């Protein structure tokens, strides 16, 4: 369905852009497909991504594309050489991806759940992120990794983490966090084309989110944030799904006469310091919303940058709304209490502004 100018939600500059409303998961898969057609050096590897093959004919089965259907149908289109099922050894196949990237290919690695990053952490920290530095710029590691993060879907403590700050801490590894179908298309394409390792984190709560996506090919520059809503009273800083939470909170605040600005930090390493400072200089108040636990989180890092570089513009302390310093609970009510909710953001803003 082509979206008219009146229903295009991307705002100024996109009034005459042709596009349609699509689901996040479909945009993700379509972007994988487009990048694999664009560059034959791109291939995909991960657990259960092809769906297997018929024992007799050796033909690909009707691939389910893994538990999130991110690669459904791609093996029929590109074959088993470019859609490669990996054994249950994240350290092994991430290491293989690093090696293939060093030889000139562009691997894309599906790590399924974000929690599984820890199993492959040595390959990411010691090899993927450091090779270009250790070889004096003579090598490159053009690999992309993706996995699903976040609570709220009943996947319990070992499948619901949002510790993207652990990855952002690593020099040489880029980290991006799309928040809607538009941003996942541009960030995934940019990540695949980048000559450094890039980790793209998808929150599970976004998978079925609908949004407007231009038909044209585009990339989003890594390291940039964007304004989702302009306001004058307070800046709400979101990342990944918390950008959605910030937008919902801004709607609630508008009913109270509070004009909130919403920033989407699409990239966590590098990240856009300028947009943070620019917004705070205007609104003089800021709340950072992060689903991660609070210690050494991206919320803490953003707050530190604001305090360091925009302190004189603040009318109130930088506030953070995060998950508690706890594993993600399985019980549904506790899980919902764990995640930052729009009302949590609203109450934090009211307290900051001294609004009853």
Regarding whether 131 and 71 lie in a shared domain, the answer is: yes
> Is 138 within the bounds of a domain?
yes
- Give the residue from 160, 189, 214 where a domain finishes: 214
Adjacent-strand bridge partners of 261: 235
- Is 107 contained in some domain? yes
Do residue 149 and residue 33 come from a single domain?
Answer: yes
CA-based Rg of the chain, rounded to a whole angstrom? 21
Band of the pLDDT at 57, cuts 50, 70, 90? Answer: low
345 found inside a domain: yes
Residues 132 and 9 in one domain: yes
Residues 136 and 191 in one domain: yes
The total number of structural domains that make up the chain: 2
Same-domain pairing of 132 and 247: no
Residue 194 inside a domain? The answer is: yes
Residues above pLDDT 90, as percent of the chain: 81
Tell me if residue 159 is catalytic. yes
Answer whether residue 219 is part of any domain: no
Q: Is 245 left (phi over 0), alpha (psi -120 to 50) or beta?
A: alpha
40 lies in the same domain as 63: yes
Question: Among all chains, which residue has been given the structure tokens 């604001």?
Answer: 306
How, if at all, do strands 19-23 and 210-214 pair?
A: antiparallel
**Confidence tier at 6 by pLDDT (50, 70, 90):** very low
Q: Are both 302 and 327 inside the same structural domain?
A: yes
* pLDDT confidence of residue 53: 59
Average pLDDT for the chain: 91
* 255 shares a domain with 177: no
Where residue 151 sits, what CATH number does that domain have? 3.40.50.970
pLDDT (mean) for 214-234: 96
Question: Where residue 320 sits, what CATH number does that domain have?
Answer: 3.40.50.920
* 133 against 68, higher pLDDT: 133
**Pair 297, 192 in one domain:** no
> Are 157 and 271 within one domain?
no
**Residues 208 and 247 occupy one common structural domain:** no
147 pairs with which residues across the strands? 201
Residue 57 backbone phi and psi in degrees, to 5: -85, -20
Same domain, 207 and 231: no
Catalytic hit among 90, 161, 291, 335 = 90
Residues 6 or more apart whose Cβ sits within 8 Å of residue 8: 14, 15, 17, 19, 212
pLDDT at 323: 95
169 tagged catalytic: no
Q: Is residue 1 scored above 50 in pLDDT?
A: no
Of the candidates 184, 214, 244, which is a domain's last residue? Answer: 214
Domain of 250? 226-353
Segments of 24-143 assigned E as strands: 42-46, 83-85, 106-113
Hunting for tokens 């020099």 — which residue is that? 171
Residue among 35, 155, 159, 335 flagged as catalytic: 159
Could you report the per-residue pLDDT of 123-137, keeping only the tens digit for each?
999 999 999 999 999
Domain end, chosen from 161, 188, 214, is at 214
Residues 292-327: b if buried by 16+ CB within 10 A, e if exposed = bbeeebbbbbbbebbeeebeebbeeebbbbbbeeee
Answer whether residue 221 is part of any domain.
no
Q: Is residue 340 part of a domain?
A: yes
Residue 348 lies in a domain: yes
Give 294-307 pLDDT, tens digit per residue: 999 999 999 999 99
Question: How far apart (Å, rounded) are the C-alpha atoms in residues 48 and 149?
Answer: 18
């Amino acid at each position: 369905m082509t979206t008219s100018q009146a229903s295009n939600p991307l705002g100024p500059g996109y009034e005459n852009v042709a596009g349609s409303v699509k689901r996040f998961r479909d945009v993700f898969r379509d972007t994988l497909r487009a990048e694999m057609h664009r560059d034959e050096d791109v291939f995909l590897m991960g657990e259960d991504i092809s769906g297997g093959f018929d024992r007799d004919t050796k033909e690909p089965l009707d691939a389910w594309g893994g538990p999130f259907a991110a690669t459904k149908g791609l093996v029929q289109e590109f074959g088993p050489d470019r859609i490669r099922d990996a054994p249950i050894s994240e350290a092994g196949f991430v290491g293989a991806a690093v090696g293939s990237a060093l030889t000139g290919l562009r691997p894309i690695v599906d790590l399924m759940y974000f929690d599984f990053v820890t199993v492959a952490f040595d390959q990411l920290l010691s090899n993927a992120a450091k090779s270009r530095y250790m070889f004096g710029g003579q090598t490159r590691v053009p690999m992309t990794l993706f996995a699903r993060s976040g609570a709220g879907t009943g996947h319990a403590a070992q499948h619901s983490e949002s510790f993207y700050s652990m990855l952002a801490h690593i020099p040489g590894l880029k980290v991006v966090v799309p928040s809607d179908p538009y941003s996942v298309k541009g960030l995934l394409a940019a990540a695949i084309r980048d000559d450094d390792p890039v980790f793209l984190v998808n929150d599970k709560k976004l998978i079925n989110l609908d949004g407007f996506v231009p038909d044209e090919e585009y990339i989003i520059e890594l390291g940039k944030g964007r304004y989702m809503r302009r306001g004058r009273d307070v800046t709400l800083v979101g990342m990944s799904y918390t950008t959605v939470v910030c937008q919902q909170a801004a709607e609630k605040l508008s009913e109270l006469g509070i004009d909130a600005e919403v920033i989407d930090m699409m990239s966590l390493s590098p990240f856009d310091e300028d947009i943070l400072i620019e917004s705070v200089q205007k609104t003089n108040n800021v709340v950072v919303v992060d689903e991660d636990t609070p210690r050494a989180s991206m919320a803490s890092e953003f707050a530190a940058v604001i305090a360091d570089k925009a302190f004189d513009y603040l009318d109130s302390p930088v506030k953070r709304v995060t998950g508690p310093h706890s594993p993600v609970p399985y019980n549904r009510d506790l899980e919902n209490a764990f995640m930052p909710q729009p009302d949590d953001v609203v109450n934090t803003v009211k307290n900051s502004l001294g609004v009853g």
